[in-house]
Structure formats: C-alpha cells, structure tokens
Structure 1
Amino acid sequence: MAPRSDSSSAHRGRALFVVHDTDTDRGIADTGTLREHVADRGYEVQIVHPAGELPDLSGFDFIIVMGSSESAYDDSVPWLAAELTYLRAALAANVPIFGVCFGGQLLSRVLGGTVKRSDHPEHGYVTVNSVAPELVSNGPWMQMHYDRFSLPPGAREIARNGAALQAFTFGRNLGVQFHPEISPAVWATWQASWAVSREGQLVVERGIDLQKITAEISARAEESHRQCGILLDAFLKLVYAPV
C-alpha cells in the first residue's frame, strides 16, 4: 500500500472495520462515531466479522479493529485464530491497524505483547496521562474493560493511568484501551448485547452504575464525537507518514 501524501484530500481509498458481534446490526452499530468520521473523510467503509470471509488486504488503506465481550487471550473463541492470522498478515503487508479496546489487545498480542485479566477494571469516563497529547489526548475517554494489554517489544508507550497502559504505537499502528467511538447509540447496543454475553454477566455481578454511565455518555456526546474525530485524524497522520 503506497501512502498518500495529502491527508486532507476528499477521497483516499478504503477502510476495513473488523467487528466481533455475531449480530450483523449490532456489529455495524458498534463502529459508532469512528465509522461516521471515517466515512466523512471520504473513505469507502467495509465491515466484516472474523468468522466470515476476510477480504484481500491489498484493497485497504487501514484496518480498525473494534471491541468485543470476549477476551483476547481466550484461544477457545472460535474465530480468534483466524483474526490473529489476518492481523499478522496486515502487519506483514504494512497495512496500518487501529485497535480499539479488544482490538488494541489483539494488536499488542500479534506484536509480541501479552493480554491478561486486569486487577483494576475500568467503567465509565477516565483521564489518562499522555506523553503525546497531539496523538492521544488526556481525555476523558470512555472505558469498559476487564482485561489489559502490555507494551509490545519495540512499541512506544503513549498513554497510561493507574489502572493500565492506555495507548501505544508501533510504526504506523495504534492501539488504545478506551472507546473513542462511544455514543448513546453505541452504549444502547452494548447493553443489548450484554444479555447474551459473559461481559453482561460481569456487569450485573459487579453492580456497575449503568444509569450514571448512561447519563454521562449522553452529557458528553458532542465532546466524545469531537474527540473521536481528532483521534482519527491523528491516526491518519500515522497512516500517511513517510516510511
């Protein structure tokens, strides 16, 4: 893939989203404001689930790997091996990857990092300490995770807080632990999916204040939408950086 020099041009190419909800409508909804911003910047968007046929990598400018209620270290997940193989192929082909939460954990794993259960799960909006706020701001960012990733060998730590590493880069690839795509619609989709997932059971068991989070997501909707666009543009600068 040849990087394009003008990151502000009206149309650049194609973007692939990898989603992890087997319900097609929920999977599409999970892409949230990230998909909106990608489309607004002139990209043709394709959305796939790793259980299906994964497209030829050469047709895409970059890949965005979304969250999941599964664990990135659970090799019993039926489609996980295929996705890991696909992401390794993307790295080998120099197709940039933007990993979000579970997607960031997968990116860490394929780069040689580790993913494990977190001693400090995060739910709701939190701030992070960024060494490159022009790339990843201090937030606040929406969190909903029980696992955490380590910094892969050769990667650059970008942000962390007291709970976990929050963002890293590896060349033109970016992994984040938080959810920049959040919106009231995405949150509603998550809650619908929890009825049939292990994450939903954990939410119930841990007594998370869903009403409080719902109210904050609604109150921060415009801010979150704007922050997501800024983060995407920062990632696109990585995508089209000289190699």
Structure 2
Amino acid sequence: MTTALFLAHEDDRSRGRAEAGSLAVAARTRGFEVVVAHPSDDLPRPETVDFVTVLGSAHAADDDTLPWLAPERAYIAETLAAGTPILGVCFGGQVLSRVLGGVVDRSPHPEIGFVSVDSSCDFIDSGPWMQWHFDHFTVPPGATLVADNAANAQAFVSGRNLGLQFHPEITAGSFAAWRLGWTPESEVEVARDFDIDVDALARRITSDAADLERRCARLLDGFLAL
C-alpha cells in the first residue's frame, strides 16, 4: 500500500486526524494508507511516502516563534528536494509558498465562510470554497497562479506541488474539530465582523456534503496527476 502523509497542527492528535476531512477520505478511497502526524513528531523520510498534505492551522505561517515551524519548513524543503509532491492547504499553502520563496503576511481582505474563487485550472472548480484565513501568500517565483479572486491569490502550481488558500477538505466533522478550539466570544466576533452565522455555516457544510466531497476528490485527482 502507498502512503499519504498529512501534517496537522493540533496538539490533540485526534483533532488533527478529524481536520484531514474529505482529503483523507479521498486518499483512502484511492488506495493510500493515510498517516496523520504533527510537525514535531518523528516524521518519515520524504522519499518513503507518495505525497504530503500540509493542513491548516489557527497559527500564522510567518510566526517563527512557533517551535515546530522551522522544523516543518525544513521538512517541506527536504520533501521538495526529494521530489515528493506537496499539497498545501491554507496555512499549508502559505508555508509551501514561503519555502518556495514567496511571502506570507496579513491580508487586507481576510476571508471567512464560503467565498467564490475564479479558477483557470481544470481540476479546481470555480465557485464557492470554504475559507478561514486572515493571512495570505504570494505566488512564489517560478510557480503558476491557477486560481484567484479580488481578495487574494487562491491556488498556485509549482512543478508537482499545489498550494491552496481555501479548504477543499471541509466536512461536518472537520468543522466541528475547528470549533473545539474556539471560544464563544470568538464566534460572536466572527458573526459581528464577517456577518457569519457559524451554526448556519455548519448546517450548510452538512447539507452540501456530497458536492463538497466530490469537488475535493476531483481536486485531489488533479493534484495527483501533476
């Protein structure tokens, strides 16, 4: 069996596994053994896995005070050197951009909830994708912008690697795992600042589950075909 490594950033490893969402489901369906690890864990040699997915985080991808971020960046650089493909999701896309020479900083247009994306890539649908970010990345040197909107670059391809600003993996279970780390006050702030009803958003994720999973699986197939 081939192996897909997912890097999650929760200290609670069970939450990290939940946050892998429909990307992990699609990978298993395609015959991969899914391994979910924290960047501080004893990670496998990059050449022994088939691809690496770097998931989101509540932390900032340019916060170099995080004790595990420098080792994670080094592991991503090692993975790139080994030729093992990387799929970066939100925080993961930002870290991938940094390692490839791009820049991550505070976005003047943070995006919360389902936000429309324009895609020039045949495996990334145009239309709404789940977003939850306050920072953004630049497209790194030599990479190709394949999706964007008026606020931010949304996806880039660099060789066999794909960086995303949005969350194709979102499921009811992964969203519930996100919410475990939030306070009631933070949900009130989101409702106030972004006009987002978090409970209604959770219901939409549940009601749209089949379509979200289909689009996520198509994106994963396109990434694997790079």
What's the TM-score, normalizing by structure 2? 0.94
Matched, 1:184 2:172: yes
Range 31-40 or range 135-144, more displaced: 135-144
Q: 2:81 is matched with which residue?
A: 92
Aligned residue among 94, 110, 114 for 2:99: 110
| 1:109-167: CA deviation from partner (whole Å, max 9, x where unpaired) | 000000111111111112211112x1211132111111100010000000000111000
What does residue range 203-222 of structure 1 map to in structure 2 within 5 Å? Answer: 203-207=187-191, 208-222=196-210
Aligned residue among 27, 35, 42 for 1:53: 42
Q: 2:137 is matched with which residue?
A: 149
Measure the CA separation in 2 of the matches of 1:149 and 1:46.
27
Q: For 1:86, what is the secondary structure of its paired residue?
A: helix
Range 216-225 or range 142-151, more displaced: 216-225
Aligned residue among 55, 60, 70 for 1:71: 60
Q: For 1:128, what is the secondary structure of its paired residue?
A: strand
Structure 1's consecutive aligned runs of 4 or more residues displaced over 6 angstroms after TM superposition are: none
Cα 1:52–1:204 shift into 2, 3 Å: farther
Q: For 1:143, what is the secondary structure of its paired residue?
A: strand
Measure the CA separation in 2 of the matches of 1:116 and 1:203.
23
Report the aligned-residue RMSD.
1.4
Deviation, 1:202, is: 5.1
Q: 1:80 is matched with which residue?
A: 69
Measure the CA separation in 2 of the matches of 1:202 and 1:146.
14
Measure the CA separation in 1 of the matches of 2:145 and 2:161.
12
Range 34-43 or range 137-146, more displaced: 137-146
What does residue range 155-174 of structure 1 map to in structure 2 within 5 Å? Answer: 155-174=143-162
Match of 1:175, as an amino acid? G
Range 119-128 or range 63-72, more displaced: 119-128
Measure the CA separation in 2 of the matches of 1:17 and 1:130.
25
Gaps of 5+ in 1: 1-10, 239-243
Range 55-64 or range 102-111, more displaced: 55-64
Aligned residues: 222
Q: For 2:83, what is the secondary structure of its paired residue?
A: coil
Match of 2:164, as an amino acid? V
Range 176-185 or range 135-144, more displaced: 135-144
Measure the CA separation in 1 of the matches of 2:215 and 2:33.
22
Cα 1:103–1:169 shift into 2, 3 Å: same
Q: Which structure carries more strand by proportion?
A: 2
Q: For 1:123, what is the secondary structure of its paired residue?
A: strand
Q: For 1:78, what is the secondary structure of its paired residue?
A: coil
Q: 2:90 is matched with which residue?
A: 101
What's the TM-score, normalizing by structure 1? 0.88
Q: 1:193 is matched with which residue?
A: 181
What does residue range 118-137 of structure 1 map to in structure 2 within 5 Å? Answer: 118-132=107-121, 134-137=122-125
Match of 1:97, as an amino acid? I
Identity %, equivalent residues: 48
